[in-house]
Amino acid sequence: MTSNDILQKVKRIYQANKAGHTGALDPLATGMLPICFGEATKFSQYLLDSDKRYRVIAKLGQRTDTSDADGQVIQTRQINFTEAELSEALNQFRGPLKQVPTMFSALKYQGRPLYEYARQGLTVPREARDITVYELCFLRHEQDELELEIHCSKGTYIRTIIDDLGEILGCGAHVIYLRRLQVSHYPQQKMITLEQLLEQQSDLDSLLAHLLPIDSPVQDYPILHISAVQGADILLGRTICILASAASERLVRIYAGSGSESHFLGIGLHALNQLAPKRLVNL
């Protein structure tokens, strides 16, 4: 099933009028797929922009046209690198990098996804994009399999890392297993399978127990507290003056009121002594 297939099934289970996922998984991939309902869909973009963590197994010795097992093998080569050479190659994929997206991706060129051109045998220009690999952990290397865990920034294509790594090692490689372990700070232990949800669909309390707060997609952003009066102005779309200053523009989570009366209003742009609304909850 595609990520959208899952989304539509979960939407029906929760009888939601509005729902959206936060970044499609490759057809071959499994793992975490946060789904937003109702007003929370306004903040799904901020999860698209968040860090991700993946477990990946690469098959060495073969390169495919899609850089994963769903593609056609286009080259087969011998595996003859040393462990020292592998360690040196892996180190080239840590830290800030420039990455050219794979042709088999949903990125668009002249209004069409790149994969549509690729399926026609066409290659179009793609600009290298800035990504960051915060952590790349070597897990195992056995015969023609290499297993890694990768914590990376938004827009990182694990398939491309594996394909590029295979070229550096001189043997070629492609992804045969990919699992998204984490998105932003969402806990792995809160993940639930579609099958489990289907079993619980007649139990409203169980379904509700899986839901997280509406501000959970924006936990990576700093908090800014304002008064209830200022909150009313923000909800009317007004830019307000505040005492807290910011040296440069930054996105913040806005909460109005104090103590137990404090509630989430949305995301705003904080610059100098001003706060401008950017994406608000419809209270």
Angstrom distance (rounded) from CA 162 to CA 59: 9
Angstrom distance (rounded) from CA 6 to CA 33: 9
Contacts of 264 (CB under 8 A, 6+ apart): 213, 214, 215, 253, 254, 255, 281
Token couple for 177:
């297993």
Residue 112: strand, helix, or coil: strand
State the helix-helix crossing angle for 158-169 and 83-91, rounded to 10 degrees: 140
Residue 243: strand, helix, or coil: strand
Token couple for 3:
């990520």
Dihedral angle, C-alpha 240, 244, 245, 251, nearest 10 ° = -70
The reply to whether 26 belongs to the active site is yes
Q: Most distant CA pair in the chain: distance in Å? A: 69
Active-site residue (options: 5, 26, 203, 205)? 26
Angstrom distance (rounded) from CA 253 to CA 265: 8
| Residues with active-site annotation | 26
